């Protein structure tokens, strides 16, 4: 299997479409015969990232690279940036609005889930500029 690359655009504040990119990647990985646990890890990590982009930033873009060794997800937004990464990484800490909570999100599990389900995660963020989250999941 050679390296495959996919690019997705995540629309701003469109909860109805959030999850489409993750579903698409999940379907592709399944078809490629990836290990179901790897598929699950990618689907969860990417969906949480997608939801974060919709909740906190004005959407963004996701680049997915699938190689025989790894699946790399790069989620890039031009949102407000993360003021306190340590706090954001704590389970239960959330800055989501009431409206977002009423939809069942905002439990403060987004970034912790992303870290839990990826094998490597890197967050680059700058206030007022945006955030880039890179996640690597080993394709074993």
Partner 1 sequence: MTVNELAEKAGFETLNLADGSDERTISGIYCCDLLSVAMSKGFPGAAWVTIMGNINAAAVASLTDMACVVLAEGAAIDEMMVSKAKQQGITVMQSPLPIFETAMKINGLLNA
8 binds partner 1 (CB under 8 A): no
Q: Which is nearer to partner 1, 29 or 136 (CB)?
A: 29
The tokens for 133 are 């989250």
CB 27 within 8 A of CB 64: no
Q: Which is nearer to partner 1, 3 or 23 (CB)?
A: 23
- Cα separations (Å) of 112 from 2, 31, 66, 67? 31, 28, 23, 25
Please give the residues from 67 up to 106 whose contact with partner 1 meets the rule CB under 8 A: 103-106
DSSP H or E segment with residue 22: helix 20-31
41 binds partner 1 (CB under 8 A): no
109 binds partner 1 (CB under 8 A): yes
38 binds partner 1 (CB under 8 A): no
- Kindly indicate which of the ranges 1-9, 36-44, 62-70, 80-88 contains the residues binding partner 1, using the contact rule CB under 8 A: 36-44
Please give the residues from 13 up to 32 whose contact with partner 1 meets the rule CB under 8 A: 15-16, 18-19, 22-23, 26
Q: How many other C-beta atoms lie within 10 A of the C-beta of residue 99?
A: 12
Collect contacts of 38-41 with beta carbons under 8 A, ≥24 apart.
38/71, 38/137, 38/138, 38/139, 38/140, 40/117, 41/117, 41/118, 41/137
Q: Which is nearer to partner 1, 104 or 128 (CB)?
A: 104
Interface contacts to partner 1, rule CB under 8 A: 15-16, 18-19, 22-23, 26, 36, 40, 43-44, 47-48, 51, 103-110, 113, 116-117
């Amino acid at each position: 299997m050679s390296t495959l690359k996919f690019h997705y655009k995540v629309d701003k504040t469109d909860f109805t479409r959030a999850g489409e990119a993750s579903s698409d990647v999940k379907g592709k990985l399944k078809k490629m015969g990836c290990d179901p646990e790897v598929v699950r890890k990618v689907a969860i990590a990417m969906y949480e990232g997608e939801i974060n982009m919709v909740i906190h930033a004005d959407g963004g873009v996701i680049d997915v690279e699938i190689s025989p060794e790894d699946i790399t997800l790069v989620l890039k937004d031009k949102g407000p940036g993360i003021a306190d990464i340590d706090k954001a990484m704590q389970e239960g800490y959330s800055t989501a609005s009431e409206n977002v909570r009423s939809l069942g999100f905002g439990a403060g599990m987004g970034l912790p889930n992303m870290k839990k389900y990826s094998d490597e995660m890197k967050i680059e963020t700058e206030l007022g500029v945006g955030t880039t989250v890179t996640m690597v999941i080993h394709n074993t």
